[in-house]
Amino acid sequence: MTRKIMRVVKHHEGHHHTRGEAHPKAVLSDHEIELMRQLHEEYAVGDSRHLGYRRLAKLFGVAKTTVRHFCNYERRNK
């Protein structure tokens, strides 16, 4: 049987959480995300020139679900 250890995490005054491209783990810049959204919306679904999530994921080097979240404005909303 394993026991869970609870830890108390204190929030320090003046400690700000970075968001967007300033976050240390951010892979894409805000400009790249805006470009991704424009490329996705440029042509209608079904058009041979339409760039879907899979193709955009390959172009930008991220996961398909990440592209979906950005294109649906679920992440980095502006």
pLDDT at 53 over 90: yes
From the list 66, 73, 72, 74, the residue with the least C-alpha distance to 27 is: 66
Residue 34's Cβ-count burial label (10 Å; 0-12, 13-18, 19+) is: middle
pLDDT at 14 over 80: no
Query: Does the pTM of the predicted model rise above 0.75?
Result: no
The mean predicted confidence, pLDDT, of the chain is 84
pLDDT in tens, 23-48: 777 789 889 999 999 999 999 999 99
Residue 54's Cβ-count burial label (10 Å; 0-12, 13-18, 19+) is: exposed
User: Looking at residue 4, what is its pLDDT?
Assistant: 63
User: Looking at residue 2, what is its pLDDT?
Assistant: 64
